[in-house]
Amino acid sequence: MKTDMKFRIYFIIIISTCIILFMLAIRNTSNDVQVDTRSQKCQKLCTVKYDIAKGYPPVANSGLYGDYLCPTMFRDMSDYVFGWPFSHFHEVVNVPDLSEVLDCLPPVPILFSKGDPKIVRNFSKELGDYVKPGFILLTGQTDYPSPGKNKKLLDNPNILRWYGPNPGITHPKFHPFPLGLQCFEHAQGMLKFHNKYGENIKDKLQNNRKRMENGDLQKLAVLNFGETHPIRRTVKTQLCNEKHPYIECQNKLWTNNVTEENGRLSLLYESLSKYPFWVAPRGNGLDTHRIWEALYVGSIPIVQRSLLDPLFKDLPVLLIDNYEDLTEKQLKDTLIKFSEMDIDTKTLYKNYWRADIEKFRSEMIKKYNLADSARFRCWGT
């Protein structure tokens, strides 16, 4: 009897287990059908899969310059892009209407908008309250301050974090990122320079120090920029005179070319890299490409203190209050100091910023207890 009872109990357990597994299989199959239906709808619009190790593949320049800091680098990290001037850069890229892909966006999507105030407002208006619990906003390709006239958008609970250039305020939800290069104009010339001279900034700083100590430097700093802001004219007046004989003043002789690099820019980088310091006042925007060009070629940009300062942590940037107060001794002491420092250049490249943005996204996924399904970029097909 005891044996029969044990058998019956085991039999009931086995049957019950089978029934439970069968019901779970039916439910999962049902869910799979729903997911597949949605995927079939979205996969026509969102075809580029996110790679956990590498992120999305670059769109700009066929990915040749994807590691340099530039607006396209941040754009190409995004799940969707709004208002980008593709035609200006001769890009042929498919971008579905936002209304078509709202159902296809992953939880806590990373969304990029051109940073002009009106475009950002229009983007926010089109998003409405649809993206819950929220999204990460990247803005760029603009000289306007961030958030600028749109600082009230930071009160929007759906904007979990906002990354943008040219910071105009400090705010817990706003995180500035660098302007970097303009990759369509600068990257090919920079790549040619790096292929010839390498990318080790520390080596270049130490070499410039040796040249200074050996008396091989006639000029410590170079001034070479267009007058895109009144401050630049003031800086030229302050520094291009007999009081600053250690500064080389040059005129910017040409504009950058969007469509091709004919060798002039790489030669310019080669010429300007011989100066340990580059004078880099603000232009139309607070941040300038010149700051980052200087760093990439191994020179030290001279920058007025501003809300950009946190971006220069661990980088060889000379921060000053007033250009007129520059002295030869200050430049020499600064070159020696930076040549002896442990220079950390991770913030000059894509991986640092992608990791920072994706880390915050993962925190939000966990905070809101969301399932992080496979991601597909809803543009750039």
What is the domain partition of the chain in residue ranges?
60-177+351-377, 183-348
Residue 237 has pLDDT above 70, yes or no: yes
Instruction: Please state the pTM of the whole predicted model.
Output: 0.87
**What mean pLDDT do residues 181-205 have?**
93
Helix (H, G, I), strand (E, B) or coil at 311: helix
Tokens of 235: 């800086």
With cut-offs at 50, 70 and 90, classify the pLDDT of residue 258: low
Question: Do 48 and 376 touch, CB atoms closer than 8 A?
Answer: yes
CB atoms within 10 A of CB 129: 9
Residue 264 has pLDDT above 60, yes or no: yes
Give the integer Cα–Cα distance in Å for 299 and 78: 31
* Sign, CA torsion 166/85/297/314: positive
Fold classified for 183-348: Rossmann fold (3.40.50)
Give the integer Cα–Cα distance in Å for 257 and 291: 19
Q: Is the peptide bond before 147 cis (omega within 30 degrees of 0)?
A: yes
Q: Where are the beta strands (DSSP E) in the chain?
A: 48-49, 80-82, 110-114, 135-140, 159-164, 174-176, 221-224, 247-250, 277-279, 300-304, 318-320, 376-377
- Identify residue 318 by its one-letter amino acid code: L
Residue 309 has pLDDT above 90, yes or no: yes
Give the integer Cα–Cα distance in Å for 263 and 282: 26
- C-alpha to C-alpha distances, 39 to 34, 162, 376, nearest whole angstrom: 9, 29, 10
pLDDT digits (tens, 9 = 90+) for 140-187: 999 999 999 999 999 999 999 999 999 999 999 999 999 999 999 999
pLDDT digits (tens, 9 = 90+) for 102-116: 999 999 999 999 999
Helix (H, G, I), strand (E, B) or coil at 298: coil
Helix (H, G, I), strand (E, B) or coil at 57: coil
Give the integer Cα–Cα distance in Å for 294 and 98: 38
Give the integer Cα–Cα distance in Å for 318 and 320: 6
What pLDDT, on the 0 to 100 scale, is given for residue 381?
72
Tokens of 40: 């079939």
Give the integer Cα–Cα distance in Å for 24 and 27: 5
Tracing tokens 């995180």 back to the chain, one arrives at 175
Question: Do 374 and 49 touch, CB atoms closer than 8 A?
Answer: yes
Fill in the DSSP letter of residue 128.
T
Give the integer Cα–Cα distance in Å for 135 and 275: 43
CB atoms within 10 A of CB 339: 21
Instruction: For residue 33, count CB atoms less than 10 angstroms from its CB and return exposed for 0-12, middle for 13-18, buried for 19 or more.
Output: exposed
What pLDDT, on the 0 to 100 scale, is given for residue 43?
85
For the chain, what is the largest distance between any 2 Cα atoms, rounded to a whole number of angstroms? 113
Q: Residues near 331 by Cβ (< 8 Å), separated by ≥ 6?
A: 220, 221, 246, 276, 277, 318
Residue 22 has pLDDT above 60, yes or no: no
